[in-house]
Structure 1
Amino acid sequence: MISFAPSLDPAVATENLSLILSPRMRSELFHDHIQRLGDMFDAFVRACPPPWPAPGLALTPEIHFQSELWLPLALIGPAFRRLYRHVLTWPPVLSSTPFASSLSWAGIISLFPPDSGWPVNPALLLERLLDDRRLRLEFVCWSFMPRRFYGNGSNRYPGQTEFIRHWLRERRQRGGELRCLDAACGDGGASYALLRLMLEQGWPTESLRVEGWTLDPLEVWSAAHARFPLDPLRQSAFREALAPLFEQDCHGRLHFRAVDLEEIPAGDERFDLIICNGLLGGPISNHPQSMERIARNLARLLRPHGMLLVADHFHGGWKKSVPVETIQELLGACGLHVIRAGEGIAGVRERSCHACPAVRRE
């Protein structure tokens, strides 16, 4: 299981990166792919007039059609999926990559970072990725952690934050330890913010424990080491925001792990507070069975009187697949008492999670 403690030490980040990225590539496994893709791209350049695929290109149906005619994804995709499987030391979630959602190779190229300088020729790009470890890191970060998945580090849910602040003040009166989980933590920004909020409410450092769980080990690495290889400005701002936690030696109360929320192994871990924002009901998890497995697994992790918070307004509009009423009913079916909590809802464990009472709303 991939599990990293926060550290801004470059040597530690490099050592941990070696656990999730293969140090060497077997170029001979890709020789046939490179030959075939190179021939395809040469034919494309000879036959097709500009505009050719480029980062930021405004795509038209004609460009997509022309790209698919000469550079079909059905032939390009397998080469890069093989690359992902060989680069990464864990089974990659291929549905997260642009190859799973793009209409054409031109569509993929249009998403390239404008200043990356990556070749638009798939054969040349593949060759460079096999030879250059730094470029491989940038490419897999781009593939599995696109910038659109994350915000700018600001507080996405101020109403929920205020709800948590009030809850922390009341909970502190009981004393004891406080264990919290940021489920589907992504880049870890909310995990660090939660720890900071707990300290601001007067909780002693030694009584706190925050876990950040996400499916992708690359996100675990990025969150633990505040590293964003494709976005140095964001990395610098993120590290500046985290500096007080590291200076006060509070970061040791936080830990990041790769966990599939649909298949959480049985164990003794229990939490007083679980936050699961931006997942249930959005584009990532909207199938009824998937949502039920996640909700029941998280509810099972709650201590008595523990609370599960769910919000996802940044999955609104056309991305909003499931109404909030459905999420309320789902938490209620897990034995949780459902209340409003800022921009989202909260489910409080008042009884066994195996009970299935009717949903109560306030």
Structure 2
Amino acid sequence: MFVFTASPLPGDAAANLHKIFSPTIDQASFQPDLQRLKSLTAGYVAFCPSPWPAPGLVVTSEISGQSEVWLPLDMIRPVFERLYRKVLRYPPILSSTPFSGASSWASIVAAFPEFIKHCCTPASLLDALLTDDELREKFIFWSFMPRRFYGAGSNRYPGQTVFVREWLQGRTLKTVRCLDAACGDGESSYALASLVLESGVRVDKCSVEGWTMDPLEVWCAAHSCFPHDARRQAGFRAATGQLFSGGGHKCLTFLQADLLNAPVTERFDLIVCNGLLGGPIISDVSQVEMIAQNLTALLQPGGLLLVADHFHAGWKKRLPTAVIAGRFAECGLRVREAGEGLAAEG
């Protein structure tokens, strides 16, 4: 389990990145793969008519079909999945990568960011990743943390924020221990810490933990770093800058954790679990029930647990709110509507 405290210092970021990310790779072990991809590419270029895959290309079914004939993903995907395993010092969540669910190599290339747009064939991409350490680092982060997953801002649930602020004002807690379950890139964790500190709780009496399954997210959250996306990093640092400059980040810790197998910790006064339950990430009723039980076990008697999923609302919503509410009620919690979601109290 990876645990990183929030720190703005580049030295801390570099040291922690080394714990999860190998700075070197055995190029020789990938040479047979590279030669096979070069052969595939040569055939594709020689016999397949344009348009060839390119960033921003509108991929029609015909283009996707041609791509699959000459550059079949079943021959390409295993190579890059092996690269992920070699670079990362933990078993990666491969379902998060661009190769998971892709219809063709063309559809993957169409979404390429600026820094790899010159590598439009699998051979050219692999060759570049093997020889360019900085490019490889950016590619790995882009693969597991694409822009579509993030960037909605720290106050995605303004109604919930108001509810938490009123709850904090109505209590006389000298210490407040908070959990941002499924924290993602950590933006909501920083917002939660700011909210608690603004209520009058001292930094040394406040504790906010952000939990997520992906160690790359843990690292990005702790250090406000996004090597693959300079614009996102600048926006994130602008949003968290005041907290860092005032020393408020000292109450923040981020760790790798799976809510289906929650680590044993001290209990929390306030738990927030947003963007996880009822949508495409967790919609199996038995898993929702298990997470409800685990979160209830982590909640202090008299504590507050908030659940919302505005991000996956509409056509992505797979479980009615009443079903989720019922699972928490079965755990002995009092459940009611709050902001954009539910509040459950012990």
Provide the TM-score with structure 2 as the length reference: 0.97
Match of 1:340 among 327, 337, 340: 337
Tell me how far apart the structure 2 counterparts of residues 94 and 148 of structure 1 sit (CA, whole Å). Answer: 17
1:196 Cα deviation after fit: 0.5
Q: Say whether residues 1:319 and 2:320 are aligned partners.
A: no
The answer to whether the 8 Å contact 1:272/1:303 transfers is: yes
Q: Distance in 2 between matches of 1:68 and 1:210?
A: 47
Offset from partner CA, 1:250-280 (integer Å, 9 cap, x none): 2111100011111113x34210111110001
1:340 and 1:149 map into 2 onto residues whose CA distance is 26
Structure 2 residue ranges without an equivalent (≥5)? none
Please give the per-residue CA displacement for 1:185-235, whole angstroms capped at 9, x wherever unaligned.
011100000010111111222211000010000000000110111221221
Superposition CA RMSD, Å: 1.3
Distance 1:23 1:231, change over 3 A: closer
CA distance in 1, matches of 2:286, 2:31: 42
Q: Which deviates more from structure 2 when the two are superposed, residues 222-231 or residues 147-156? A: 147-156
Contact kept? 2:154, 2:188, Cα under 8 Å = no
Return the offset for 1:154: 4.2
Alpha-carbon distance in 2 for matches of 1:322, 1:41? 44
Q: Distance in 1 between matches of 2:265 and 2:15?
A: 29
CA contact (8 A) 2:154 2:191 kept: no
Deviations 1:55-86 (A, max 9, x none): 11111110111111111111001001101110
Q: Distance in 2 between matches of 1:188 and 1:26?
A: 33
1:278 to 243, 268, 275: 275
Q: Is the 1:57–1:110 contact (alpha carbons within 8 Å) kept by the matching residues of 2?
A: yes
CA distance in 2, matches of 1:62, 1:167: 56
The answer as to whether partners of 1:56 and 1:114 remain within 8 angstroms in 2 is no
Partner of 1:292: 289
The CA distance in 2 between the partners of 1:336 and 1:315, in whole Å, is 24
Residue correspondence of structure 1 range 201-240 to structure 2 within 5 A = 201-240=199-238
Could you tell me how far apart the structure 2 residues matched to 1:146 and 1:286 are? 22
For 1:270, give the aligned amino acid. Answer: R
SS at the partner of 2:92?
coil
> Which residue of 2 is the match for residue 128 of structure 1?
128
Q: Secondary structure at the match of 2:20?
A: coil
Q: Is the 8 A contact 1:274 1:309 kept in 2?
A: yes
Q: Which residue in the other structure is 1:149 paired with?
A: 149
Within 5 A, what are the aligned runs for 1:59-78? 59-78=59-78
**1:238 partner amino acid:** F
Quote how far apart the aligned CAs of 1:118 are.
4.3
CA distance 1:8–1:234, shift in 2 (3 Å): same
CA gap 1:187/1:50 in 2 versus in 1, 3 angstroms: same
Residues 137-181 of structure 1 deviation map (CA, whole Å, 9 limit, x = unaligned): 11111111111111242411100000000001012x2x3311000
How far did 1:331 drift? 1.1
Matching residue of 1:249: 247
SS at match of 1:99: coil
Report how many aligned residue pairs link the two structures. Answer: 346
Look up the match of 2:48.
48
- Contact in 2 for aligned 1:27/1:130 (Cα 8 Å): yes
The separation in 2 between residues aligned to 1:260 and 1:132, in whole angstroms, is 33
Q: Which position in structure 1 is the counterpart of 2:82?
A: 82
| Structure 2: distance between partners of 1:74 and 1:300 | 43
Instruction: Return structure 1 stretches of 4+ with deviation > 6 angstroms.
Output: none
Partner of 1:12: 12
Return the letter of the residue paired with 1:188: G
SS in 2 for 1:98: coil
Mapped to 2, the partners of 1:194 and 1:273 lie a distance apart of: 10
1:46: Cα distance to partner? 0.9
